[in-house]
Amino acid sequence: MQRARQRVYDAIVVGSGATGGWAAKVLTEKGLRVIVLEAGRSIDPTRDYRMMTQPYELRYHGVAPGSIYAPRQPIQSKCYAGNEYSRHLFVDDIDNPYTTPEGKPFWWIRGRHVGGRSLTWGRQSYRLSDYDFKAASHDGYGEDWPISLKDLTPYYEMVEDFVGISGSVENLPQLPDSHFLPAMNMTCGEHLLKRAVESRWSDRRVTIGRAAILTRPHQGRAACHYCGHCDRGCDTHSYFSSVGSTLPAAAKTGRMTLRPNAIARELIIDPQTGKARGVRIINQVTKREEEVFGKAIVLCASTIESTRLLLNSTSRQHPQGFGNSSGLVGHYLMDHMYSISAVGTAPMLRGSEYDYSDGRANGIYVPRFQNLKNRKADFIRGYGMQGRVGQGFSYAHARQMPGFGADFKKFVRDNPREVNFFLGAWCEMLPRKDNRVTIDPGKVDAWGIPVVRIDCTHGENERAMARDAIVAIQEMVDAAGFRTTATSTTPAPPGFCIHEVGTARMGNDPKSSVLNEWNQVWDSKNVLVTDGACFVSQGCQNPTLTMMAITARACDHLAEQMRRGEI
């Protein structure tokens, strides 16, 4: 085995995405020497980003069907962004397999490179409220988080002030306001929907989405120029990614070492104390094994990958996986129920002048309104809605038009000039112990590491919520006078919303949780898990902003403990 030099870092951060970047930034700025381990390759924006790539520059002109890539990416090619422009920002499913029980699909969408999924995420950024942190106290199901909105607010603000979140103040208790950059404009059709909904229902609000996209220059990054292709990578770093924001900030301190192609196989356990003292890695390219040592370890590899690492780290003191004395590592997996939606047209706007709004990589948001003051009899918790109303000058539309040259261009621009709408629900999944991640002892990945088996299904509460959501969607678009052309009432398999959380939950009791209130593993306080694995419940809001704030809070506390010599 090839041994790395026996240097001991102050902290090892596993993962370089949204949370890993924040861990690196906070810890290095607090004076710690940090190594960031990234399983995948380095990213070169000049080569890997295709923000301005034109269809004629691609072999299939940007419209290749998913079946072209399915032999190597049967799961990743299902994602809207896993296309000819961006499929290189998603994993090879054959090299990175996982298993599921028969009849229980889980579509696990992943990026393995520096920056991870922060290069392709949807950028919607919402705070959780105490309806979420204290959901169990509100409706009696499950467990409360060991922290409240008050505990996390300073760190939400820290993240928002650095990242840049555009949005509007709404003063809603279920959707706390952030520190905002100026909001993006809503389209005419969205204003029509807002007026119709808010005049009929006093408890419903239609607002512009809160997005980690700059509407003015911020932190040395340029404002968004509205090209509409965020999932292809952003040359100007106008949306948040760790590559364009937090990792450069950490590198500026001179105290960060970034190590790509370093696949974390397991934690190195001290045979005397049972504490973790490093990470055993495999070089992705050479497949040679090495060891990296650190006083503290922060797992930011993503919900399921961090859990996989814990479960694969067995020893005499941790026979069921590291930090698993409660037996709960891997349990309570959640992902938003997704694909409950309606699409159609706004007939009153047909023929409108093209307004370029399809370059706005953001939509509208309807905050949760169910089970706040009112109480639905057939389900608990709630859902939010996301959508848009506008024209789309898309290549998909253009390629259906006949003609050539100037006449063709005019025809594409002028016809059919239909204004379309989409409105969908993001439904909270309840934390259920039987939704879980385990190690499949019979299968390994391309580097010989045992893979996970994911067993996760929607429950009756989610199904009842979906039935309510489609009714609410339909009555709202009807109130606006829109014409529905299709609805989707069948949810996508879990995983496909790409909001997977849970599996190493925080808590106040080591018997019923994996982590304490500071995201430290109960069994070894020098190991932290700060990505989505730490979630106790999900809420209906997109989770990444909360993950980043939790990481900032946990690493701030870790740095203080290390300063005092407590770790």
Written as tens digits, the pLDDT of the chain (567 aa) is: 455 458 999 999 999 999 999 999 999 999 999 999 999 999 999 999 999 998 889 998 887 877 788 899 999 999 999 999 999 999 999 999 999 999 999 999 999 999 999 999 999 999 999 999 999 999 999 999 999 999 999 999 999 999 999 999 999 999 999 999 999 999 999 999 999 999 999 999 999 999 999 999 999 999 999 998 899 999 999 999 999 999 999 999 999 999 999 999 999 999 999 999 999 999 999 999 999 999 999 999 999 999 999 999 999 999 999 999 999 999 999 999 999 999 999 999 998 888 888 899 999 999 999 999 888 889 999 999 999 999 876 555 566 667 788 887 777 666 667 899 999 999 999 999 999 999 999 999 999 999 999 999 999 999 999 999 999 999 999 999 999 999 999 999 999 999 999 999 999 999 999 999 999 999 999 999 999 999 999 999 999 999 999 999 999 999 999 999 999
Judge whether 265 and 449 are in contact, CB under 8 Å: yes
Domain total in the chain: 1
**pLDDT value of residue 403:** 76
Specify if 468 maps to a domain. yes
In the DSSP assignment, the letter for residue 104 is -
Residue with tokens 């520096």: 114
Question: d(Cα 134, Cα 361) in Å, to the nearest integer?
Answer: 32
The answer for residues whose C-beta is within 8 angstroms of residue 70's C-beta and 6 or more apart is 77
Q: What distances in angstroms separate CA 412 from CA 99, 134, 394, 398, one per listed residue?
A: 45, 52, 9, 6
State the distance between the two ends of the chain, measured CA to CA, in whole angstroms.
Answer: 29
Question: d(Cα 162, Cα 457) in Å, to the nearest integer?
Answer: 37
Side-by-side strand order, sheet with 483-488: 207-208, 364-366, 383-390, 420-427, 337-345, 483-488
**pLDDT value of residue 1:** 47
**pLDDT value of residue 414:** 67
CB neighbours of residue 36 within 10 Å: 30
Specify if 541 maps to a domain. no
Specify if 473 maps to a domain. yes
In the DSSP assignment, the letter for residue 250 is H
Burial class (CB in 10 A: 0-12, 13-18, 19+), 507: buried
Judge whether 190 and 388 are in contact, CB under 8 Å: yes
**Pairing of β 276-283 and β 289-299:** antiparallel
Judge whether 391 and 349 are in contact, CB under 8 Å: no
Burial class (CB in 10 A: 0-12, 13-18, 19+), 179: middle
**pLDDT value of residue 415:** 64
Question: d(Cα 362, Cα 215) in Å, to the nearest integer?
Answer: 12
Specify if 212 maps to a domain. yes
Question: d(Cα 524, Cα 528) in Å, to the nearest integer?
Answer: 9
Specify if 550 maps to a domain. no
φ, ψ of residue 113 to 5 degrees: the values are: -170, 170
Q: What's the full length of the chain, in residues?
A: 567
H or E segment at 267?
strand 262-269
pTM for the full predicted model: 0.95
The answer for residues whose C-beta is within 8 angstroms of residue 276's C-beta and 6 or more apart is 267, 268, 269, 270, 297, 313, 322, 524, 526, 527
**pLDDT value of residue 514:** 98
CATH number at residue 180: 3.30.410
Dihedral angle of Cα 108, 114, 120, 122, to the nearest 10 degrees: 90
Specify if 315 maps to a domain. no
In the DSSP assignment, the letter for residue 372 is S
The SS3 of residue 275 is: coil
**pLDDT value of residue 416:** 67
Judge whether 238 and 248 are in contact, CB under 8 Å: no
In the DSSP assignment, the letter for residue 419 is -
How would DSSP label each residue in 143-188? ---SS-HHHHHHHHHHHHHHH-EE-----BTTB----EEPPPPPPH
Question: d(Cα 468, Cα 458) in Å, to the nearest integer?
Answer: 15
41: its two tokens: 């390759």
Specify if 19 maps to a domain. no
Specify if 259 maps to a domain. no
Domain that holds residue 184: 165-220+337-427+458-493
**Considering only CA atoms, which of 389, 424, 392 is closest in space to residue 497?**
424
Per-residue pLDDT tens digits for 457-484: 999 999 999 999 999 999 999 999 999 9
Judge whether 382 and 340 are in contact, CB under 8 Å: no
